[in-house]
Structure 1
């Protein structure tokens, strides 16, 4: 018997004229005069979160066009967690956090239930993907990809490597899009300072050295070398979001029973981050929003369309930002041609800084929609057809119009029309491997665990203000954190009181 092939390569000609084909399919279905409802196969597609309102968006994003091309299929959208169930809970009641559903457990129920979904589209990142693979809940896609001669070579290598990292070397999902950040720099500021511009594959130490060289001035005339969070200005949060992930240092062990912040690794992190703020290489909140907002100088309102954005204001030489920032910079350039009060930034972009201890790893690449087949799918063949459709080159061509996400296929990754920038900088580095520490779960099971981080924030502040050395601040954080974790182990849902708060 001839083996049935999961997907159809012949659909390529259909995709190329997708708009005409979609209309043609609808007309053909409407004019056929035959009732095909009894022949329809059901394809159940699961998402982590959904509700009645959100379902419309999910269908527009992922299923409407596919369903029009496949009138023999009926698409059912399933949410592991209903947004409304969370929205209408009384957050003022004791135990509110503990009553919040565990997304991973709900995903497992959706995959294992009496009427399991065929496809699961996961939220951004690979942490759930890795756990589902480890729990043998997903179908390995490597054999299907090979059988259908599906072009995997066109995928961005870092995206495939990120997927394989979550699948212990194998492919269990494909994602049509991803998000990423890079290091933007102001060409004029570097030229005026006579300093070489940043390049791809620089280490954090290299970037920080550049930032220190170019920062200068005082007060509201100060220009800064680097900004991590465009709207932030907090050393502890910047550390967590940008500097720390690729190092994969943890505050505490996976069971949240013992702190792990003492040692040379953490000491270097604290010393580095604190010095950037202490020496005003990175702007603080007060620098970003002087006089309670930035629109007022010496008591007088001033026109500043870039209020709060120091890079667009030509006061920051380098900033870390996502791909969507390209459009923000483009809009500013367009407006500068119309309004002499607006100065456009002559900018370039290179890869995110990486750590010498862990080269090739970026800290801000997210796989936005990993699509996988349930190991218990009732309809695995149509499930693959759906994944193949959403990850095809032809569909990627239409998706490439997005201003906020990057396409996972290299052949469709080009700078926005009329622009010239280093788009490879957004996908050269690999994503950070999934962490074994499930903070979402810990926050639900031990609501008081936030206090451990608050001690860390205070410790960093003490170093920035010169009250303590990094070693002493970390030692105190370790001690207070251990005391907190011990109390939470004895009473996971209780608060933390007593001497642990003593300064």
Structure 2
């Protein structure tokens, strides 16, 4: 009896031990996974052998908290290869960043993470080359509720309302206005969600003076100089207008929408409500550097300007050093959302998502790739970078006015970004290096409108005809020059 009882106890212990073995093995495998050294390959569109800036901006903190993971940065296009471009008699073809990105995403040693802009990401989504992140977000209960809504919505617009990437930062612009100039004119200042027509009407009321005393009501840029032909893209981009079709085979500017754009902007320039681009710039009589020179807003030459987020630093610095600058009065300013079109009331502000992070569908290390993206878009990372990044962090809890000031910081992230009109545009410019001259040709015809030599309709018709000739030539010979 005693021996049989002892035998049963031995069998019970052995059975328990055998059940525990898989658990022990599992723990060992998990611990091994946590301690083994792994390489995570991260692809960028452009880069160089010295990738220190990218690492400082994004991945150093991740490596510090994940000592078993080593980040290898792989550039789709090495910027060093661009040295000497265009100096030879025979024109070289620009590197195709999208095609190069696809190459490093495939093959024997594909990259794990892709860092790209909206146009590139949209192309990769359309070709099923990046993973959908929604299942991972749900599985890990990764909180996206604090991410700026316009950023999330902009990302979803790229992927048919699914999330294929996240971005830790974004850049944006807003409408800056000079409070004192509005008070002096007895005009109510702008508010959020105004249309372009609303702003242009305000600008007309704020415009006054002649010669060097002239004050513009509005400017597309903070700096003086340059034709509105270039800066008015901010006006028409939300309307999804294109200069030529997606294959660069036919001009699309000969249309009622384009005519309205040119008519509106040229009249504002002719009436001096906005800068025309040919105004003389103030020069320091002693030839010294003047930080206000050419800055329409700081010099109170424009009541309203479109400026990006980083412009706040210049305003703060100028106001802090007002006593050191002769003739400068501190600018009492605030911001509101950029103007919108009634056809697209939620879109504007030039929100730019340039650091979208996605997982390669062929990633060798997808788990660490997701860990990197989660960390880069976490509250911890946002807290670290909120005050040191030149862009805004994507988590709105950490977006605060700078230097203890009180201004409408939400104006920079209320509106949704403009979706890319043509994801193939960069590729077209790379294959046809002279394609930019088709766009540049428009400047010649717009100037004729500003000089009252042609109506907008006439000028656009001639640009369309000339542009079609140029596109036909490029179709036959992509390396053709003009």
Same fold (TM > 0.5)? yes
Contact 2:176 2:336 in 1 (8 A): yes
- Aligned match of 2:100: 106
- Aligned match of 2:41: 44
CA distance in 1 between partners of 2:89 and 2:108 (Å): 33
1:439 to 406, 420, 425: 425
CA deviation map 1:456-487 (0-9, x unaligned): 11111111111111111111111111111112
| 1:413 matches 2:399 | yes
* Residue aligned with 1:285, SS: coil
CA, structure 1 residues 147+38, in 2 after alignment: closer, same or farther (shift >3 Å)? closer
* Residue aligned with 1:120, SS: strand
Kindly name which structure, 1 or 2, has the bigger radius of gyration based on alpha carbons: 2
- Aligned match of 2:299: 313
CA, structure 1 residues 403+388, in 2 after alignment: closer, same or farther (shift >3 Å)? closer
2:53 to 52, 57, 62: 57
CA distance in 2 between partners of 1:68 and 1:451 (Å): 47
1:478-497 alignment runs, 5 A limit: 478-496=464-482
Contact 1:121 1:372 in 2 (8 A): yes
| 1:93 matches 2:81 | no
| 1:127 matches 2:113 | no
CA, structure 1 residues 378+304, in 2 after alignment: closer, same or farther (shift >3 Å)? closer
| 1:273 matches 2:269 | no
Distance apart, 1:402 and its partner CA? 2.8
* Residue aligned with 1:121, SS: strand
CA deviation map 1:237-296 (0-9, x unaligned): 0122x1121111111111111111112100000001111211111123343x43xxx224
CA distance in 2 between partners of 1:115 and 1:400 (Å): 35
1:145-294 alignment runs, 5 A limit: 145-231=137-223, 232-240=225-233, 242-287=234-279, 289-290=280-281, 294=282
Contact 1:445 1:492 in 2 (8 A): yes
Q: How many residues align?
A: 453
* Residue aligned with 1:275, SS: helix
Contact 2:207 2:215 in 1 (8 A): yes
Contact 1:335 1:342 in 2 (8 A): no
Greater shift in the superposed pair: 194-203 or 361-370: 361-370
Distance apart, 1:495 and its partner CA? 2.6
Contact 2:220 2:228 in 1 (8 A): no
* Residue aligned with 1:77, SS: strand
TM-score (norm 1): 0.86
1:84 to 80, 86, 95: 80
* Residue aligned with 1:448, SS: coil
* Residue aligned with 2:268, SS: helix
CA, structure 1 residues 88+492, in 2 after alignment: closer, same or farther (shift >3 Å)? closer
CA distance in 2 between partners of 1:303 and 1:192 (Å): 30
CA distance in 2 between partners of 1:441 and 1:201 (Å): 35
Contact 1:327 1:403 in 2 (8 A): no
Greater shift in the superposed pair: 382-391 or 184-193: 382-391
CA distance in 2 between partners of 1:126 and 1:434 (Å): 7
1:342 to 315, 322, 328: 328
1:464 to 450, 454, 459: 450
CA distance in 1 between partners of 2:34 and 2:139 (Å): 31
CA deviation map 1:428-477 (0-9, x unaligned): 00000122253322222223323322331111111111111111111111
CA deviation map 1:373-431 (0-9, x unaligned): 11111111111111111110111011110362111011111111320000000000000
* Residue aligned with 1:468, SS: coil
Distance apart, 1:490 and its partner CA? 1.8
- Aligned match of 1:14: none
Residue segments in structure 2 that go unaligned for 5+ positions in a row: 1-21, 27-31
- Aligned match of 1:142: 134
TM-score (norm 2): 0.90
CA deviation map 1:335-358 (0-9, x unaligned): 125666431100010001111121
* Residue aligned with 2:42, SS: strand
CA distance in 2 between partners of 1:197 and 1:210 (Å): 8
